[in-house]
Amino acid sequence: MTGKVMTADEVASELRDGMTIGIGGWGSRRKPMALVRAILRSGVADLTVVSYGGPDVGLLVATGRVRRVVTGFVTLDTIPLEPHFRLGRQNGTVELTELDEGMLHWGLLAAAHRLPFLPIRAGLGSDVPRVNPDLRTVRSPYPDGEELIAMPPLRLDAALIHLNRADARGNGQYLGPDPYFDDLFCRAAARSFLSCEQVVPTGELLASAPVQSLLINRSMVDGVVEAPGGAHFTSCVPDYPRDEAFQAEYAKSAGSQEAWERFAGEYLSGDEADYQKAVRRFRESRAASA
Amino acid sequence: MSPGGVTRAEVCVVACAEAWRGDGATLASPMGLIPSLGARLARCTFAPDLLLSDGEAFLLAPDPPSRGDDGAVEGWLPFRSVFTVVAAGRRHVMMGAAQLDRYGNQNISCIGDWARPKAQLLGVRGAPGNTVNHPVSYWVPRHSRRVFVEAVDMVCGVGYDRAAAAGAGFHELRVVVTNLAVLDFQAPDHTMRLRSLHPGVTLSEVVDATGFALAVPDEVPVTRPPMAAELDLIRGQLDPSGMRDRELA
């Protein structure tokens, strides 16, 4: 088994209505946006999305692809509140499983380890159990007898992540400062799809970074997509920072139905190449008016 | 600007700094500009061992007096490690609060009915885990009845009443710093108590801006004003462009 290279649209065509999808990254950082954009084009719907949420969640909510979001937050980082997620919640168009950030981590770890639950303090005393009535506690069988939240596994049908580099066999490398939880998303998922800025020969992976940068090995990955700019407009350092100007444009699109239709028409009506072209036009028009 | 030339924002920076006094080699996680200035001020004066991150994955070495190290990366702290630090209890966070009740139950998730909120805010984020694992303080830049309420709409950060009921043995709320005062939970039943009034603020201002009965001691001290050396650091080093005033505007 060697070549796993496929297109973003081929990844999206592997997804089915009603699936539970985990999305890597964090907030507006290193999100697999090219894969998300492929989902928008695909017509798949009724998804449950598990994510440290950013514009991945916002776009999927805005386009009605998502039935339920499982998260502790949805943010654009420099814009604290994700506007499309906000609208979805306030208009009642999306369901929410609201968890503490650490509980989400623990749920992925439980799934990755094939455990029925992992004990955690986070959630005790808060309203998280109130809004998650299926959540149970467990008492320590040791003399301390402490009662803890029994965080169930967050099992995923598919995981989507974006890294800086990968080889064609699915060995993936992050070059930025934080791996986030991308490896855990893959381990928690039945199938995992990795997009990256550049597919390189295996022998080149360690040319510019130490072995610890190889976060993902090929046993964790079913498909590799070469998607330069594939995290845009989220950050993918050191390849590129967040595109703050474009993110602000995206956020404005939640202002009205007309603003959304204009944004969707300009940026989401074509394929990934059209998107990247439209982003270049956006940059040029800003540079011209500056 | 008060008679001494010290601004309210500067008083707040010092009051925030005081929250971390005595914490040793603990991760200080300030949310907001004035708490961030406070944590950095604490570290370059009376709490030199504090750890501070850049909000991404780096621990940054101290500001002055060791100026040569300003901004140098001294450690790696990706989010997965932050969760471990939280669970290990070696952290003191100062969070914001859209709502806060007398026991310190905090809401940052949403306003209104959770099922269909009037306003979706941040989500619970790490507040449930923070509050049952390590010391937590709060920063409220606009002390008002909208924030200080009888009952919060969604308990994210856990207050003393719920922590006791849940048997949360590591729960500890330190202080609430606002634009008007410093509060703590040292009333006999761990309810909110007025600890000090900022210079120029009256008791009735604070009582009127609080939506529940606050415990008020017979003698309410004035919040410690910044010392000259602290003002020099705030104005010269930490926030030379005066961003701090905007957070109170």
pLDDT in tens, A121-141: 999 999 999 999 999 999 999
Q: Which of B35, B82, B42 is nearest to B63 (CA)?
A: B42
Radius of gyration for chain A, computed over Cα atoms and rounded to the nearest angstrom:
19
Q: Which of A71, A87, A118, A127 to probe the B interface (max B CBs under 10 A)?
A: A127
Of A85, A128, A177, the CB nearest to B124: A128
Tell me the C-alpha distance between A156 and A23, whole Å. 10
Indicate yes or no: CB of B125 within 8 angstroms of CB of A72.
Answer: yes
Work out the number of other CB atoms within 10 angstroms of the CB of residue A199.
18
pTM score of the predicted model: 0.97
Give the pLDDT confidence score for residue A208 in this predicted structure: 87
Q: At what angle do helices A272-289 and A33-42 cross, to 10 degrees?
A: 120
Nearest chain A alpha carbon to B123: A73
Domain span at residue B80 reads: 8-248
Has the ipTM of the complex gone over 0.90? yes
* Residue B157 to residue B109: CA distance in whole angstroms: 10
**Could you write out the three-class secondary structure of A180-215?**
CCHHHHHHCEEEEEEEEEEECCHHHHHHCCCHHHCC
CA distance A101 to chain B (A): 5
Domain residue spans of chain A: 8-101+154-289, 120-151
- Within a domain: B2: no
Is the CB of residue A85 less than 8 Å away from at least one CB of chain B? yes
Residues of A in contact with B86 (CB under 8 A): 102, 122
Q: How far apart are CA B73 and CA B58, in angstroms?
A: 6
Using a CB–CB cutoff of 8 Å, tell me whether A102 touches chain B: yes
- Chain centroid to CA B21: 13
Q: How far does the CA of residue B162 sit from the closest CA of chain A (Å)? A: 5
Which is it for strands B58-60 and B51-52: parallel, antiparallel or unpaired? Answer: unpaired
Question: Mutate which of B121, B132, B160 to test chain A, going by most A C-beta atoms within 10 A?
Answer: B132
In a domain, B132, yes or no: yes
* DSSP β-ladder status, A172-173 and A156-166: antiparallel
Rounded Cα distance, B56 and A119, in Å: 27
Instruction: Using a CB–CB cutoff of 8 Å, tell me whether A90 touches chain B.
Output: yes
Q: Which residue of chain A has the CA closest to B170? A: A121
Q: Is there a domain that residue B3 lies in?
A: no
Tens of pLDDT along A256-279?
999 999 999 999 999 999 999 999
Please choose, from the candidates B204, B197, B190, the residue with its C-alpha nearest in 3D space to the C-alpha of residue B220. Answer: B197
Nearest by CB: A81 against B121, B157, B170 = B121
Burial of residue A233 (number of CB atoms within 10 Å: 0-12, 13-18, 19+):
buried
Residue B51's nearest CA partner among B120, B158, B128, B134 is: B134
Please judge whether B129 and A75 are an interchain contact, meaning their C-beta atoms are less than 8 angstroms apart.
no
- Taking contacts as CB-CB distances below 8 angstroms, the residues of chain A near B124 are 72-73, 98-100, 126-128
Q: State the number of CA atoms in the 13 A half-sphere of A172 facing the CB.
A: 31
CB spacing of B129 vs A125 below 8 angstroms: no
Cα B22–chain centre separation: 15
How far apart are the two ends of chain A, measured CA to CA in Å? Answer: 51
| Residue range A114-127: mean pLDDT, rounded | 98
- Interface list for chain B against chain A, based on CB atoms closer than 8 Å: 56-58, 76, 78-80, 83, 86-87, 109-110, 114, 116-129, 131-133, 154-158, 162-163, 165-171
Do residues B134 and B89 make contact, with C-beta atoms less than 8 angstroms apart?
Answer: yes
pLDDT of residue A2: 60
Tell me the pairing of strands B27-30 and A47-51. Answer: unpaired
Closest chain A C-alpha to B104 CA, distance in angstroms: 12
Average confidence (pLDDT) over A44-64: 98
Chain B interface includes A103 (CB < 8 A): yes
- In one-letter notation, the amino acid at residue A167 is D
Inter-residue contact A72 to A97 (CB < 8 Å): no
Contact predicate B33/B244, CB 8 Å = yes
Of the candidates B79, B117, B123, the beta carbon closest to that of A178 is on B79
Phi, psi of A48, rounded to the nearest 5 degrees: -105, 125
Answer for the pair A95, A60: CB distance below 8 angstroms, yes or no: no
Q: Which residue, A160, A183, A209, is CA-closest to A105?
A: A183
Kindly state the DSSP code that residue A110 receives in the 8-state scheme: H
User: Is residue B43 within 8 Å of B51, Cβ to Cβ?
Assistant: no
Chain B nearest CA to A218, separation (Å): 22
The per-residue pLDDT of chain A, averaged, comes to: 97
Residue B164 distance to chain A (closest CA, Å): 8
In degrees and rounded to multiples of 5, residue A289 shows phi and psi of: -90, -5
Whether A117 and chain B come into contact, CB under 8 Å, resolves to no
User: CA-CA distance, A99 to A120, in Å (whole number)?
Assistant: 12
Average pLDDT over residues A195-211: 97
Interchain CB contact of A93 with B (< 8 Å): no
Burial of B227: CB neighbours in 10 Å, binned 0-12, 13-18, 19+: exposed
> What are the φ/ψ torsions at residue B248 (nearest 5 degrees)?
-100, -5
Phi, psi of A93 (to 5 degrees): -95, -5
> pLDDT by residue (tens digit) across B150-187?
999 999 999 999 999 999 999 999 999 999 999 999 99
A288 to chain B, closest Cα gap in Å: 30
Question: Is residue A1 scored above 80 in pLDDT?
Answer: no
Contact between A121 and B79 using a beta-carbon 8 Å cutoff? no
Q: How far is A29 from chain B (nearest CA, A)?
A: 10
Q: Do A101 and B133 touch (CB under 8 A)?
A: no
Q: How far is B78 from chain A (nearest CA, A)?
A: 5
Least confident piece of the model among A52-61, A237-246, B31-40, B52-61: B52-61
Which residues on adjacent β-strands are paired with residue A138?
A: A148
Nearest chain B residue to A70, by CA: B123
**DSSP helix/strand/coil, A67:** strand
Residue B162 bridge partners (DSSP)? none
pLDDT at residue B70, rounded to an integer: 58
Q: What pLDDT, on a 0 to 100 scale, did the predictor assign at position B63? A: 63
CATH number for the domain spanning B148: value is 3.40.1080.10
Residues of chain B with confidence (pLDDT) below 70: 1-4, 63-70
Tell me if A12 sits within 8 A of A32, measured CB to CB.
Answer: no
Query: What percentage of chain B carries pLDDT values higher than 70?
Result: 95
In chain B, the number of structural domains is 1
Query: Is residue A172 classed exposed, middle or buried when 0-12, 13-18 and 19+ CB atoms within 10 A define those classes?
Result: buried
pLDDT at B174: 98
Cα B206 vs. chain centroid, distance in angstroms? 18
DSSP chain B: --TTS--HHHHHHHHHHHHTTT--S-EEEE-SHHHHHHHHHHHTTT-TT-EEB-SSSEEEPP-TTSGGGTT-EEEE--HHHHHHHHHHT-EEEEE--SEE-TT--EE-SEES-TTS-SEE-S-STTHHHHHHHS-EEEEESS--TTTB-SS-SS--B--HHHHHHHT-TT--EEEEEESSEEEES-STTS--EEEEEPTT--HHHHHHT-SSPPB--SS-PBPPPPPHHHHHIIIIII-TT-GGGGGG-
In a domain, B206, yes or no: yes
Residue of A nearest to B113 (CA): A90
Interface contact B123-A98, CB threshold 8 A:
yes
CATH number at A8-101+154-289: 3.40.1080.10
